[in-house]
Amino acid sequence: MSVSVKDVAALAGVSVGTVSNVLNRPGKVAPATVERVQDAIERLGFVRNDAARQLRAGRSRSIGLVVLDVRNPFFTDVARGAEGRAAAEDLSILLGNSDDDPTRESGYLDLFEQQRVHGVLITPVDDVPERLARLRSRGIPAVLVDRLSEGGDFSSVSVDDVAGGHLAVRHLVQTGRRRIAFVGPTGVRQVMDRLEGARRAAGEQEGVSLEVIETSALSVLEGRAAGERIRDRDPQHRPDAVFAANDLLALGVLQALVMLGSVSVPDDVAIIGYDDIDFAAAAVVPLSSIRQPSELIGDRAVELLLAEVQGAEEREQVVFQPELVVRASTATDAGRSRR
């Protein structure tokens, strides 16, 4: 069926070893032979069998990446960053989407383990340190993405979520907001950190309240549901600002308030999101947000992984600082004084 080195060798009148050398170390082969072999390769349309190479090498030339949600532009950006860095090393990225589901996450880790990937980049759903420790004990290092490693057992590339939450709420408070609602799924680590930062910022000023509106996911749909609950309240019990745990949620809240309801943003309610995805700027009301260097995260994560593959002993924790991006959704409007 498929042509192998053997066929190439036969046609070129050399041994398989020589074919292999032409493929991997052409310098070690006489120019005339190289040509003859390449000719045969061309003629037969020979394509290396990766499975055989992997079997021989003991591991594949790919890196597994498990993200929480492929539909979230933040993660596709991270993936892009990782891909670019990996390509430079002639490695490819296997992208897995856990969709916040521990079973799916575990499925991908199984798959990656079976594939003997070079290493795994993961934004864990679950607390998976034991799982990752097992991987490592089998020679597959892991780097946490968008999540700090607890005991420093793993290298990680993350963004200071507490600082991000603080930035967001401090901004809301400074622009005069007092009754702040935090919208997000409290089961998620990053979200909890953002909430902690938010609480801290709220606590720094008298008279600021912070309530939590729980959602079950970080999606536009969930945001819309949360927004509807806010919209349906008595105006006097409504928050005057919403800090959403990510932009998808924020966009959903925005939809519910502005498009499906009659609440004005930012006049009645200010909204700030998190991630600063491309779509944030193009929203109904352009969305203020907390920017994370997403592609850079992917890039650095691969770098740390490769260092570990190459035997680096120290685990490194890279923590980027987030950045506040102010847009119309949190504008200090003149209109508010009317009330």
Partner DNA sequence: CTGTTAGCGCTTTCAT
Partner DNA sequence: ATGAAAGCGCTAACAG
Residue 4 CA to residue 7 CA, distance in Å, equals 5
Stretch that binds a second copy, among 143-151, 188-196, 202-210, 277-285 (CB under 8 A): 277-285
Which CB sits closer to DNA, 24 or 332?
Answer: 24
Which CB sits closer to a second copy, 134 or 179?
Answer: 134
Residue from 43, 127, 278, 335 touching a second copy (CB under 8 A): that is 278
DSSP assignment of 196-217 equals HHHHHHHHTSTT-EEEEEE-SS
Which CB sits closer to a second copy, 165 or 252?
Answer: 252
Q: Match 């200010």 to its residue by tokens.
A: 270
Say if residues 124 and 105 touch (Cβ distance below 8 Å): yes
Cis-peptide, bond into residue 31, ω within 30° of zero: no
Query: Residue 158 corresponds to which tokens in the numbers above?
Result: 């993350």
Q: By C-alpha distance, which of 61, 94, 85, 69 is closest to 295? A: 85
Which CB sits closer to DNA, 33 or 317?
Answer: 33
Say if residues 261 and 225 touch (Cβ distance below 8 Å): no
Residue 327 Cβ vs a second copy, minimum distance, rounded to whole Å = 9
Residue 334 Cβ vs a second copy, minimum distance, rounded to whole Å = 19
Residue 13 Cβ vs a second copy, minimum distance, rounded to whole Å = 24
Residue from 27, 58, 207, 311 touching a second copy (CB under 8 A): that is 58
Site string for a second copy, 97-126 (x = CB under 8 A): x------------xx-xxxx----------
Residue 142 Cβ vs DNA, minimum distance, rounded to whole Å = 21
Which CB sits closer to a second copy, 173 or 251?
Answer: 251
Q: What angle do CA 286, 289, 291 make, to 5 degrees?
A: 125
Residue 73 Cβ vs DNA, minimum distance, rounded to whole Å = 37
Contacts with DNA by CB under 7 A lie at: 1-2, 4-6, 13-21, 23-24, 28-30, 32-33, 46, 48-49, 52-53, 55-58
Residue 86 CA to residue 82 CA, distance in Å, equals 6
What is the DSSP secondary structure assignment for residue 287, as one 8-state letter?
A: P
Residue from 27, 31, 45, 151 touching a second copy (CB under 8 A): that is 45
Residue 260 exposure: Cα atoms within 13 Å on the Cβ side: 16
Query: Residue 23 corresponds to which tokens in the numbers above?
Result: 């493929």
Residue 203 Cβ vs a second copy, minimum distance, rounded to whole Å = 32
- Relative to beta strand 119-122, strand 62-67 is parallel
Residue 99 CA to its chain's centroid (Å): 12
Verify binding: residue 279, a second copy, rule CB under 8 A: yes
Verify binding: residue 254, a second copy, rule CB under 8 A: yes
30 binds, among a second copy, DNA, none (CB under 5 to 8 A by kind): DNA
Say if residues 187 and 245 touch (Cβ distance below 8 Å): no
97 binds, among DNA, a second copy, none (CB under 5 to 8 A by kind): a second copy
Residue 8 exposure: Cα atoms within 13 Å on the Cβ side: 28
- Count of CB atoms within 10 A of residue 189's CB? 17
- State the residues that interact with a second copy by CB under 8 A: 1-2, 45, 47-52, 54-55, 58, 60, 70-71, 73, 76-77, 79-80, 83, 92, 94-95, 97, 110-111, 113-116, 134, 138-139, 220, 251-252, 254-255, 259, 278-279, 281-286
